Structure 1
Amino acid sequence: MQHAAARPPLACALSAALALTAAGCAGGERHGDRPTGTAPASTRSPAALPSPAVPPVLTRGQARAALITEADLGETWEPTRGFATWRDGVLKATAERADCRRLLDVLYTEELFGSATAPRATVALDDTAGGAQLHYRVTSHRAADIDRTLAWLGTLPDTCGHFTARSARGAVRDVRVTAVPLPEPGDARQGLRVTVSGPADAGGADTADAVLTVDLAAVRVGDDAISLTHGTLGEPVDDATRTAAEVGAGRLAEVRRQGRAQV
């Protein structure tokens, strides 16, 4: 009985203490008081603020609407009939320098922004006149991640301007990398031309020397990216790479203006 009777005073004391604390906080807010040494919220370092949320991504329908078509490139272009044989025959090689090895891997896999993010939409087109093939992707990423990859591409004419690659059979291939200017549409962009010269691997045997030219280009539009490869064993047509980048960036910008999906 004595213990039961002691509980109400203790509960009252706790309630009173909580009430005084709440009143003190409320009073501090009314008079603009704050603990000594604490800066106003408006002057806090941006690093202390919450990081922005992951940007929403395009729906698959929006990404498909942003793709280019064969009609954008000219009458000699059509939907692809299959992967070009030079992909395995020439590009399947490695190099000693890490950046150059990564470049060859990107050209072969076409995963410029990494394999963690699957492509939202892709299209592959063939040039029936010149034998070229163009692969085009629209994907969504953080703008900072896209720009980091574009910056890396921009270093390659210096770090991998001329290097040697080797096939699995040991065949030596001469590789040269130069910058390719792209049209202005989009928020950021980078283009490369990679020329690979040497014997091609055909069914496990090295054949006569081949010269493969591949353009690798990427354009950022907000938090979305266009990436493309345009390769040929013949004479490359500059207009196809530039047209794909320019038309594609404009189309993607228009799709973004029409509204993004909240996911």
Structure 2
Amino acid sequence: MTSMTDEIRARRLRLSLLAAGLIALGGCAAFALNQQATAPQPLPTIVKPAPKPKAPARPDGSTLTDGQAQAALISQADLGTPWTPTRGAATWRDGLLKATTSGADCQRLLDALYTDEILGGPPRVAVGMDDTDTDAQLRYQIGARRPADIDAALSWLKTLPDRCARFTATTQTGITEDIKVTGASVPDVGDARQGLRVSLTTTADDADESVLTLDVAAVRVGQDAFALTNGGLGDVANDTTQVAVQDGALRLADARRQGRAQV
């Protein structure tokens, strides 16, 4: 009887110990689960959109599209009557501007006037207009050169009233020209500018004298620039040159603002 009682007690003890172990095991599992639930979780990664690439700059640094450069040209509306779209190069261009002289700077000036490369290189876009009353011709261009090159061209133009104040040249037909170069004022527009007045006087065999007068102006506006010549036999209307420079600077500045807005 006693042995049976002892066996029952031992079995109850083992069950008690087992129950205690299960309870302890459950507590550890619950603690582990609670730790997993309350552990800090990493924040979600926010993927930022790739920045929109900027339009590639032209070699000359301009941000203008071809259409914007074309829109920056002055038009017949800027000059008014009697200016009309050009009918072609004026006859005096080949007859008088295609000439040779001994001075390097003076020859460079004649070549620039003849080829319309006032800024030292071919223009990006250009337009010509004729005065039907006087046969004067205005040629206007947007340059395609870097600002440093434009400033160098402007600095060179500024030296010409001293270096080429007066010189002679010979046309292809053998006519001798007496040429004078003076500085000329232009509206205070853009970031840098220079104006000239060039007069070429020839005397024919019959002693008749003819004079070709050219207003020359070049202006840099930011990274871009424009240049013009306003020429004709006899005198030319300088107020037309002033209007062309003023309106040209406004048009180019507006085109540059549009160009920056679209980049």
TM-score (norm 2): 0.73
Secondary structure in 1 matching 2:259: coil
Label 1:152 to 1:72 Cα distance change in 2 as closer, same or farther (>3 A).
same
SS in 2 for 1:119: coil
Alpha-carbon separation, structure 1, partners of 2:245 and 2:144: 16
Give aligned pairs, total.
205
2:102 corresponds to which residue? Answer: 96
Using the TM superposition, give the Cα deviation of residue 170 of structure 1 relative to its aligned residue in structure 2, in angstroms: 3.0
Deviation at 1:168, TM superposition (A): 2.7
Is the counterpart of residue 143 in structure 1 residue 144 in structure 2?
Answer: no
Q: Which runs of 5+ in 1 are unaligned?
A: 1-52
* Runs of at least 5 residues in structure 2 that lack an aligned partner in the other structure: 1-58
The one-letter code sitting in structure 1 at the alignment partner of 2:103 is R
Q: Deviations over 1:138-195 (max 9, x none)?
A: 1232211111100100000011011111123432110000111000111110011100
CA RMSD of aligned residues (A): 2.3
Residues 170 and 219 of structure 1: is their aligned pair in 2 closer, same or farther, counting only changes over 3 Å? same
Cα deviation, 1:203-261, whole Å, max 9, x if unaligned, reads: xx999542100111100011111011110003210111111111001110011011249
Q: Is the 8 A contact 2:147 2:223 kept in 1?
A: yes
Aligned-residue offset at 1:262: 8.9
Alpha carbons of 1:114 and 1:208: their partners in 2 closer, same or farther (altered >3 Å)?
same
The answer on 1:153 being equivalent to 2:150 is no
Any conservation in 2 of the 1:73–1:243 contact (CA below 8 Å)?
yes
What percentage of residue pairs aligned between the two structures are identical? 56
| Distance in structure 2 (CA, Å) of the matches to 1:125 and 1:54 | 27
CA contact (8 A) 2:68 2:259 kept: no
Superposition deviation, residue 111 in structure 1: 1.0
Relative to structure 1, is the Cα distance of residues 234 and 253 closer, same or farther in structure 2, using a 3 angstrom cutoff? same
Alpha-carbon distance between aligned partners in 2 of 1:191 and 1:198, rounded to the nearest angstrom: 23
SS of 2:143's equivalent in the other structure is strand
Equivalent runs, 1:1-263 vs 2, <5 Å: 55-115=61-121, 118-199=122-203, 208-260=208-260
**CA distances 1:46-89 after superposition (whole Å, capped 9, x unpaired):** xxxxxxx8624421100111010111112111101111100011
CA spacing shift, 1:206–1:249, aligned 2, 3 Å: farther
Residue 90 of structure 1 aligns to a residue in which SS? Answer: helix
2:60, 2:144 within 8 Å by CA — same for their partners in 1? no
2:52 corresponding residue in structure 1: none
Cα separation, 1, equivalents of 2:71 and 2:102: 40
Tell which deviates more after alignment, 151-160 or 53-62: 53-62
In 1, Cα distance between the equivalents of 2:246 and 2:129?
Answer: 17
Secondary structure of the corresponding residue to residue 242 of structure 1? helix
Q: TM-score, normalised by structure 1?
A: 0.73
Structure-2 separation of matches of 1:199 and 1:57: 48
**In structure 2, what residue type is equivalent to 1:223?**
Q
8 A contact 2:60–2:147 mirrored in 1: no
**Contact 2:139–2:229 at 8 Å: present in 1 too?**
yes
Tell me if the contact between 1:63 and 1:139 (Cα under 8 Å) persists in the aligned partners: no
Is the alpha carbon distance of 1:72 and 1:174 closer, same or farther for their aligned partners in structure 2, counting shifts above 3 Å?
same
Cα distance, 1:166–1:54 mapped onto 2, change above 3 Å: closer
- C-alpha separation between the residues in 2 aligned to 1:119 and 1:155? 22
Judging changes above 3 Å, is the alpha-carbon distance between structure 1 residues 54 and 177 closer, same or farther for their aligned structure 2 residues?
A: closer
Letter of the structure 2 residue corresponding to residue 224 of structure 1: D
